[in-house]
Structure 1
Amino acid sequence: MDGQSLDGPGRAGRVRRLVARLALLVLAAAALYQGLWAQFAPRSFFYDFPAGLTWVAGDGPYNEHLVRDVGGLVNGLGAMAVVAALWMSAPLLVANAVAWTVYAVPHFVYHVNHPLAETSMQRWNVVVLTSEVVLPLLGLLGIGTLSRRRHARMLEGR
């Protein structure tokens, strides 16, 4: 039984691991796109995010400090998703899902309650924000790929 995943031998475990890893890498890419832009070109991010559509500027005056700090925080979440995707350990996958949920759920709620003026843009915004909730949860699929022996050791505390 050694080397088999908890969800069965072979293919099922590999598929779960691939889905988890891809979800985390897509999440990381989206986060780093936003975060690097906000941190290193805060004025451009404020007035042009995303792709020239000025979604951020509609919520108040420009604040470079705030935009850079939020960029750094989103970069941190993106880095966490990359590390979780590379190591695929249960503690990292859970920590990543918790951190993203703490960030993404209130972010989603805010934008649903403060919709963009253009309906088609609001639809896209909701899709993107929903992905920030769903993708880290898909990353948890990687937990089921532990070998039976490794899982038993974890339960025993070794």
Structure 2
Amino acid sequence: MVRVGLGALSAVNLWWGGWALIAPRHFFDTFPGFGRHWTAGYPPYNQHLVSDLGAIFVTLGVLLAAAAILNDARVTTVVLAGVLTFNALHLAFHAVHHGTLTGFDLVASLASLAAGVLAPVALLILARRRAPGAVGAAPR
């Protein structure tokens, strides 16, 4: 389950990062898609910042993929701690700064950011339980 979760998180980060790097204006105007425009709720558009965000997402995606492939408890823990740090700081900013988002878009964006915090926490818990000899690991 941990490797599947790492792979899923990797795919999402690589998708978002690639999108932001290849088409930063489109990403800004239409993220997350499905007729929603969450990133555009924080004007003005800045290609440099959107491209930097894309680079962050791609970096996280590569690290998550490496953790999934290597299947090493220490690597998994370090990568998920990094992802959790970014996601928690990202959520903290948006919890205070709503841009022009209101109603459904505000609630949905905050819920998705909260899921981005909960997912690595859940994977850390699962990884801790499966790691042989890990402190606090459940016996096999």
Please give the residue correspondences for 1:6-155 in structure 2 after superposition, counting only pairs within 5 Å. 18=1, 20-51=2-33, 52-115=35-98, 117-140=101-124, 141-147=126-132, 151=133
The one of the two structures with greater contact order (alpha-carbon pairs below 8 A, sep at least 6) is 1
Q: Do 1:43 and 1:64's aligned partners in 2 also have CA atoms closer than 8 Å?
A: yes
Determine the C-alpha separation between the residues in 2 that align with 1:131 and 1:117: 18
Q: Which moved more, 1:97-106 or 1:52-61?
A: 52-61
Determine the C-alpha separation between the residues in 1 that align with 2:70 and 2:122: 15
Specify the code of the residue in structure 2 equivalent to 1:31.
Answer: N
The number of aligned residues is: 131
Task: State the shift of 1:43 in Å.
Answer: 0.7
Highest Rg: 1 or 2?
A: 1
Query: TM-score, normalised on structure 2?
Result: 0.81
Query: TM-score, normalised on structure 1?
Result: 0.73
- Unaligned ranges ≥5, structure 2: 135-140
Q: Do 2:36 and 2:105's aligned partners in 1 also have CA atoms closer than 8 Å?
A: no
For residues 28-61 of structure 1, what are the alpha-carbon distances to aligned partners after superposition, in whole Å with 9 as ceiling and x for unaligned? 2221221111011001011111114221122222
| SS of aligned partner of 2:38 | coil
Determine the C-alpha separation between the residues in 2 that align with 1:124 and 1:89: 34
For residues 91-134 of structure 1, what are the alpha-carbon distances to aligned partners after superposition, in whole Å with 9 as ceiling and x for unaligned? 21111122112211111011111236332222221221112112
Q: Do 2:38 and 2:109's aligned partners in 1 also have CA atoms closer than 8 Å?
A: no
Identity %: 31
Change in Cα spacing, 1:85 to 1:79, as seen in structure 2 (3 Å) is same
